[in-house]
């Protein structure tokens, strides 16, 4: 694990030539509070709309988030959706000069309608696709091949992202692979869910998921024997140097041309919140890692970590290189997976999660002597939303509150122990008498405190911007005055 961290921290900015089906993803978020009187269907009261680069566009954004550079090759429509897609790709830092805009062929748009259950949990209700999947005209294929050749000379890696939208025909796909191999470039193929993979022959790495692999190999994957058999069959069909079958929460299976295959499992179990974009994230990390000289095992390890982080978030959120480093460090105990953050970095994380429809819960305390009551309290607080931020008093702050003999446990150890709890998403340390400055910065959706009365630090502040205040009756045997005093002084 140490060697992966060292390798990742030494990455440069490799350039990826990305040929693929570029799409615009649209998210319509709303509250579902009633059933339609016209039919037994839920009524979504839309509250906001977001757009993002999807399909190969998400791969491009994920490559740049990893510190790489990317040249986009493909076709989109000469329409408003195409303009919006180009804007988002450019914002992500992608080179769009070789994205061809075609008249009469609309930009593919996927619109997801997301209900916010109890105003908190994002649940996809319906997806509507607007697209054309007809094959490209021969003259457009020729232009596309020339565009790809322009990118090859300046790229370290070539990626083909096939969503079966008409771009990767039986003609152009072999051309693209042959041109790349002739230029000495490795080619990663993320194949479509189709039966015949012969058009991908001579690629370097083939990356299907288990369902795509079962369909294309004709072998139903049900155990390790059939898994190895399917991988071997796909290797035979495509003559790929390696085949990587992704297996969702079970990690991945890597098969080499020499007949050696092995499972590469996730390093820790994941709470799967949304699988959207996980495969694209994995592809992006593989491309960057292999371009930087990692071997297949190292690249898959890094891709597994990135894919695992992706499924814990709603929607498609590109994973940054430093986030993977943080996660690797957490795995080896150097620190708690990037959970312990300074307030400036924490503010960025909170803003990002809220922007994707997540409800941020905040609580605070000294937590000098951690006990089972604290754990139950934090578990209940986490159940209220998607993300629990825990602010703990610094050592100086605890001494001011509880006297010169406290704390018994220093702030670094307290933060590490609390971050080790699965229910806690982030921990930060504050030195002030109360956490009001943090509340002003983070603006959590829900502020939680233990007690039997609705008295919390910053109640007026939180309710002033539309947040909620909740109390939990976990403090027993204390008077209301004692509870209020503890809360106002940052204790629990």
Active site residues: 280
208-212: long-range contacts, CB 8 A cutoff, minimum separation 24: 208/234, 208/243, 208/245, 208/246, 209/245, 209/246, 209/247, 209/248, 209/279, 210/245, 210/246, 210/247, 210/248
Burial profile 248-264: b = 16 or more Cβ within 10 angstroms, e = fewer? beebbbbbeeeeebeeb
- For every residue of 28-95, DSSP letters joined together read EEEEEEEE-SSSSSEEEEEEEEEEEEEEHHHHHHHHHHTT-EEEEEEEEESSHHHHHHHHHHHHTT-B
Q: Which helix (H) or strand (E) holds 418?
A: helix 411-419
Question: By C-alpha distance, which of 147, 151, 185, 184 is closest to 167?
Answer: 147
Joined tokens for residue 213: 């692999």
Joined tokens for residue 459: 């109640």
- Three-state DSSP at 427 gives strand
- For every residue of 300-312, DSSP letters joined together read HHHHHHHHHHHHT
- Three-state DSSP at 117 gives strand
CB distance 397 to 431 below 8 Å:
yes
CB distance 181 to 152 below 8 Å:
no
Give the C-alpha distances (Å, rounded to integers) separating 76 from 53, 72, 430: 12, 11, 49
- Three-state DSSP at 135 gives coil
Angle at which helices 210-217 and 224-238 pack, to 10 degrees? 60
Tokens 């006297």 locate to: 403
CA–CA distance, 4 with 111 (Å, rounded to integer): 37
> What is the β-pairing status of strands 242-246 and 22-35?
unpaired
């Amino acid at each position: 694990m140490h060697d992966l961290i060292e390798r990742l921290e030494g990455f440069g900015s490799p350039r990826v030539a990305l040929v693929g089906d570029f799409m615009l993803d649209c998210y319509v978020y709303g509250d579902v509070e009633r059933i339609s009187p016209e039919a037994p269907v839920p009524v979504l009261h839309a509250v906001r709309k977001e757009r993002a680069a999807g399909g190969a566009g998400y791969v491009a954004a994920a490559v740049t988030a990893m510190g790489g550079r990317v040249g986009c090759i493909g076709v989109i429509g000469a329409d408003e959706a195409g303009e919006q897609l180009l804007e988002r790709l450019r914002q992500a830092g992608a080179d769009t000069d070789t994205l061809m805009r075609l008249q009469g062929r609309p930009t593919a748009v996927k619109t997801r309608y997301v209900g916010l259950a109890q105003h908190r949990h994002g649940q996809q209700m319906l997806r509507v696709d607007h697209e054309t999947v007809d094959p490209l005209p021969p003259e457009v294929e020729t232009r596309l091949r020339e565009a790809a050749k322009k990118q090859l000379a300046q790229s370290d890696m070539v990626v083909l992202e096939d969503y079966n939208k008409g771009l990767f025909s039986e003609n152009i796909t072999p051309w693209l692979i042959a041109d790349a191999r002739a230029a000495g470039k490795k080619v990663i193929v993320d194949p479509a869910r189709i039966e015949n993979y012969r058009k991908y022959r001579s690629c370097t790495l083939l990356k299907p998921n288990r369902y795509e692999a079962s369909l294309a190999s004709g072998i139903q994957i049900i155990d390790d024997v059939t898994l190895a058999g399917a991988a071997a069959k796909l290797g035979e069909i495509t003559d790929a140097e390696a085949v990587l079958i992704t297996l969702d929460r079970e990690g991945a299976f890597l098969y080499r041309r020499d007949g050696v295959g092995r499972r590469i499992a996730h390093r820790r179990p994941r709470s799967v919140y949304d699988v959207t974009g996980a495969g694209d994230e994995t592809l992006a990390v593989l491309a960057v890692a292999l371009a930087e000289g990692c071997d297949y095992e190292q690249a898959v390890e890094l891709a597994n970590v990135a894919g695992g982080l992706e499924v814990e978030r709603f929607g498609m959120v590109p994973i940054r290189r430093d986030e993977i480093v943080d996660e690797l460090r957490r795995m080896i105990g150097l620190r708690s997976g990037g959970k312990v953050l300074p307030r400036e970095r924490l503010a960025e994380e909170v803003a990002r999660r809220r922007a994707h429809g997540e409800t941020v819960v905040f609580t605070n305390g000294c937590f000098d002597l951690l006990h089972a009551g604290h754990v139950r309290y934090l578990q209940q607080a986490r159940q209220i939303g998607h993300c629990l931020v825990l602010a703990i008093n610094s050592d100086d702050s605890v001494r001011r509150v509880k006297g010169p003999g406290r704390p018994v446990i220093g702030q670094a150890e307290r933060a590490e122990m609390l971050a080790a709890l699965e229910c806690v998403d982030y921990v930060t340390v504050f030195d002030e008498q109360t956490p009001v400055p943090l509340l002003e910065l983070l603006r959590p959706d829900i502020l939680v405190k233990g007690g039997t009365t609705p008295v919390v630090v910053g109640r007026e502040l939180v309710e002033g911007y539309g947040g909620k205040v909740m109390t939990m009756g976990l403090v027993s045997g204390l008077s209301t005055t004692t509870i209020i005093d503890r809360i106002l002084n940052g204790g629990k």
